[in-house]
Amino acid sequence: MSEHEEAEPRQAEGTVKWFDPGKGFGFVVPASGGPDILLHANVLRNFGQSSVADDAGIVLMVQETSRGLQATEVISIAPPDPGQKPVLEDEMDLDEEALAAIPLEPARVKWFDKTKGFGFANVFGRPDDVFIHIEVLRRSGLADLQPGEAIAVRVTLGKRGQLAITVGPWESALCDQ
């Protein structure tokens, strides 16, 4: 392949090796083997997310360039395998059916500190902030949130207040209604 020639995009599946929102990129390990795929922040943002969790499953459109494989579009993201038990005590009583019955609601991130492992969001129409734990974020396929970012959350009432039990892209709340 010459320096200016690029192959047609093709679909590829893989696992997120790492993604750093601060650097604006990360890498995906293709399931079929071969070199890692570069995942740029703009491609991820076009999908509606600003981050993705390490070990998340991902389906991409990729293009071979003179610099290697690069993602051109995100088709889908599957969260990493969940842990053995609920992270938060308030989640213990929720089974799949109960979780699915809770509607996704549009929200904006108030603040999130990855180092502290939590943050808060404002859900439209709710007066109180909603707590977001880092493990809930990870289980939802995300690694970090930015202040002002538009998201969708499923909220339950925990012992200390409102608690997000899933977090997703803003568009998922619009489709769930």
Which residue, chain included where needed, has tokens 């395998």?
81
Nearest CA-CA partner of 52 in 62, 35, 39, 33: 39
Do both 74 and 93 map to the same domain?
Answer: no
- Report the pLDDT value the prediction gives residue 115, as an integer from 0 to 100: 82
Most distant pair of Cα atoms in the chain: their distance? 61
Q: What is the span of the domain harbouring residue 172? A: 89-176
Number of domains in the chain: 2
Nearest CA-CA partner of 90 in 138, 130, 143, 52: 130
Nearest CA-CA partner of 142 in 175, 164, 174: 164
Do both 95 and 150 map to the same domain?
Answer: yes
Residue 66's pLDDT band, with cuts at 50, 70 and 90, is confident
Percent above pLDDT 70 for the chain: 85
Identify the residue with better confidence: 78 or 83. Answer: 78
Mean pLDDT of 38-50: 90
Residue 75's pLDDT band, with cuts at 50, 70 and 90, is very high
Which phi-psi region, left, alpha or beta, contains residue 23 (left: φ > 0; alpha: ψ -120 to 50)? alpha
- Integer Cα distance of 66 and 43 in angstroms: 19
Mean pLDDT of the chain: 84
Assigned domain for 167 exists: yes
- Report the pLDDT value the prediction gives residue 82, as an integer from 0 to 100: 62
Residue 94's pLDDT band, with cuts at 50, 70 and 90, is low
pLDDT in tens, 128-155: 999 999 888 888 888 889 999 999 999 9
Do both 38 and 109 map to the same domain?
Answer: no
Do both 69 and 99 map to the same domain?
Answer: no
Mean pLDDT of 1-11: 67
pTM of the model: 0.60
Alpha helix ranges (H) inside 54-94: none
Q: Is the pLDDT of residue 84 over 60?
A: no
Alpha helix ranges (H) inside the chain: 41-47, 96-101, 134-139, 170-176
Assigned domain for 130 exists: yes
Contact 65, 45 (CB under 8 A): no
**65 has which bridge partners?**
68
- Integer Cα distance of 158 and 94 in angstroms: 12
Assigned domain for 125 exists: yes
Q: Is the pLDDT of residue 60 over 80?
A: yes
Assigned domain for 161 exists: yes
Assigned domain for 163 exists: yes
- Integer Cα distance of 83 and 31 in angstroms: 22
